[in-house]
């Protein structure tokens, strides 16, 4: 229950910030163009807080935090006194009306740049994208990708860390090839490899993009020592402790962590005899070496049912990893000026990736089942808030870019639909008739509701 409330709280904070940014874009440009704004509202429905500013605008916080709006003076909606006609939205020039409408999505893009600027000022710990292993006969193996290579760029997009690699690779869904620039493990020579994607099948719901291509990122060696224990898990019930080193399971020596994973997964609700090496705690003197003894425990993994119906065992512990080599570590931190360029570059990558995904969704290269709704966004908000400020800011930037692009879609109920009507007006030299606009709003609303329904359905299937 606590996790749900945390996710909900993080979601509401994220949504409130992004809605405020979007609507402020409309509000700020409208005021600069001389349009009188009657109401600036975050949320819909009954107001829980209201204040009228000296500028005459009513600022409102409403009960339903799933959107917002800026109500401008408009003769098409209300009667406007003669002395205020010049402050009505509909009486502004075409370029002014277009600027007001476009300002919302543009504000979302500017916010994403600002969020990434703060992220890069604080610094993000990361690791270099070095290949750990290549699956035989895979797309990567056929292209000549080798273990130990460091990925430098993908089809011209620089890849300093694994996040950049994943974004660049996902953008190639539906493409015929992918060009990778990498450095060889020995000598560091730069080479170029072309991956044939003709028969590439990638399902984001069940696998990682790297795995689908046959690549496995380098990770430090997994030891047999326990570094994490989950409260209420089977491991704690069995009296396992931090730093215990697993040596045998059911009398069979254990040399690799995968043996532990296989044993636990294949024995749900079945007892396993675990032998661990345990160091006694020092009591008086740090100069005396701790005593190591073998302890025999009975571990009964709990059962967990996967999405496909398979029942597996779950113990609630995690192993310790050997330290990352210092040469693989990096901290993405820059000065105030350089961070602006990096933040703009990152935002542009997100914009192009999102546009690509929307286009491929329309063409069918990306399945509709990959759409996500508010539940998935809430989970993402909660998870990134758990990790810390820089990760939450990165999440806000991602959603802000998506919100900006979605609003630019040419559906009449969205900003993009209004801009489409303005473009027609620019060509025909007269406004689109209210009848045509009304039909467009109805069709656009139906399409938008259908997409939201699909996204919500996908969310529920992932629970």
Q: Per-residue pLDDT tens for 237-246?
A: 999 999 999 9
Residue-level pLDDT at 371: 55
Give residues with Cβ within 8 angstroms of 271, minimum separation 6.
Answer: 298, 299, 300
Chain segment 66-104, per-residue pLDDT in tens: 778 888 988 887 887 888 889 888 889 999 999 999 999
Give the chain's domains with CATH numbers: 126-219+328-332 (2.30.42.10), 222-322 (2.30.42.10)
**Cα three-residue angle 7-12-13, rounded to 5 degrees:** 100
- Residue 135 pLDDT more than 50? yes
H or E element in which residue 150 lies: strand 150-154
Question: CB of 74 within 8 A of CB of 97?
Answer: no
User: Helix/strand/coil (H, E, C) string of 163-189?
Assistant: HHHHHHHHCCCCCCEEEEEEECCCCCC
Spatial distance between the Cα atoms of 31 and 142, rounded to a whole number of angstroms: 59
Chain segment 220-260, per-residue pLDDT in tens: 888 999 999 988 889 899 999 999 999 999 999 999 999 99
Chain segment 312-358, per-residue pLDDT in tens: 998 999 999 888 888 888 888 899 999 999 999 989 988 888 888 77
- Residue 8 pLDDT more than 80? no
Q: Percent of the chain scored above 90 by pLDDT?
A: 30
198 pLDDT band, cuts 50/70/90, is confident
Give residues with Cβ within 8 angstroms of 377, minimum separation 6.
Answer: 11, 14, 15, 399
Question: What is the average pLDDT across 24-36?
Answer: 92
Residue-level pLDDT at 373: 47
- Residue 369 pLDDT more than 70? no
174 pLDDT band, cuts 50/70/90, is confident
Across the chain, mean pLDDT equals 83
- The residues annotated as belonging to the active site are 23
9 pLDDT band, cuts 50/70/90, is low
- Residue 368 pLDDT more than 60? no
Residue-level pLDDT at 309: 81
Residue-level pLDDT at 374: 47
Chain segment 262-292, per-residue pLDDT in tens: 999 999 999 999 999 998 765 555 555 567 8
Select from 363, 356, 360 the least CA-distant residue to 405: 356
Spatial distance between the Cα atoms of 304 and 312, rounded to a whole number of angstroms: 5
H or E element in which residue 72 lies: strand 58-72
Spatial distance between the Cα atoms of 54 and 45, rounded to a whole number of angstroms: 24
């Amino acid at each position: 229950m606590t996790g749900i409330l945390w996710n909900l709280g993080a979601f509401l904070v994220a949504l409130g910030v992004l809605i405020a940014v979007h609507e402020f874009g409309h509000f700020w440009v409208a005021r600069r163009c001389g349009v009188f704004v009657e109401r600036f509202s975050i949320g819909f429905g009954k107001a829980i807080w209201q204040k009228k500013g000296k500028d005459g605008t009513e600022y409102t916080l409403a009960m339903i935090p799933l959107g917002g709006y800026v109500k401008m003076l408009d003769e098409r909606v209300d009667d406007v006194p003669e002395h205020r006609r010049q402050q009505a939205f509909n009486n502004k020039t075409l370029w002014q009306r277009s600027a007001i409408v476009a300002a919302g999505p543009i504000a979302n893009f500017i916010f994403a740049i600002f969020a990434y600027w703060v992220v890069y000022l604080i610094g993000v710990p990361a690791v270099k994208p070095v290949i750990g292993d290549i699956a035989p006969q895979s797309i990567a193996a056929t292209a000549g990708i080798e273990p130990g290579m460091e990925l430098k760029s993908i089809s011209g997009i620089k890849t300093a860390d694994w996040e950049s690699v994943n974004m660049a690779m996902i953008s190639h869904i539906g493409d015929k090839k992918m060009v990778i620039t990498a450095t060889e493990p020995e000598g560091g020579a730069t080479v170029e490899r072309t991956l044939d994607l003709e028969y590439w099948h990638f399902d984001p719901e069940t696998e990682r993009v790297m795995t689908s291509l046959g690549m496995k990122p380098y990770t430090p060696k997994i030891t047999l020592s326990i570094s994490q224990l989950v409260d209420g898990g089977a491991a704690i019930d069995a009296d396992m402790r931090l730093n215990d080193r697993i040596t045998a399971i059911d009398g069979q020596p254990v040399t690799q962590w995968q043996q532990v994973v296989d044993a636990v997964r294949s024995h749900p609700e079945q007892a396993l005899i675990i032998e661990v090496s345990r160091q006694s705690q020092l009591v008086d003197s740090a100069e005396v070496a701790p005593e190591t003894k073998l302890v025999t425990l009975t571990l009964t993994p709990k059962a967990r049912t996967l999405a496909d119906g398979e029942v597996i065992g779950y113990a609630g512990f995690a192993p310790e990893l050997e330290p990352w080599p210092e040469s693989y570590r990096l901290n993405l931190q820059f000065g105030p000026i350089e961070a602006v360029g990096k933040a703009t570059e990152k935002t542009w990558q997100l914009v192009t990736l999102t546009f690509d995904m929307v286009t491929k969704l329309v063409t069918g290269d990306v399945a509709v089942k990959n759409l996500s709704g508010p539940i998935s966004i809430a989970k993402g908000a909660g998870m990134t808030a758990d990790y810390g400020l820089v990760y939450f800011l990165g999440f806000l930037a991602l959603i802000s870019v998506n919100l900006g692009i979605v609003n630019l879609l040419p559906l009449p109920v969205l900003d993009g639909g209004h801009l489409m009507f303005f473009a027609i007006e620019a060509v025909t030299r007269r406004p689109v008739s209210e009848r045509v606009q009304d039909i467009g709003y109805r069709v656009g609303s139906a399409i938008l509701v259908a997409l939201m329904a699909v996204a919500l359905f996908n969310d529920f299937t992932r629970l």
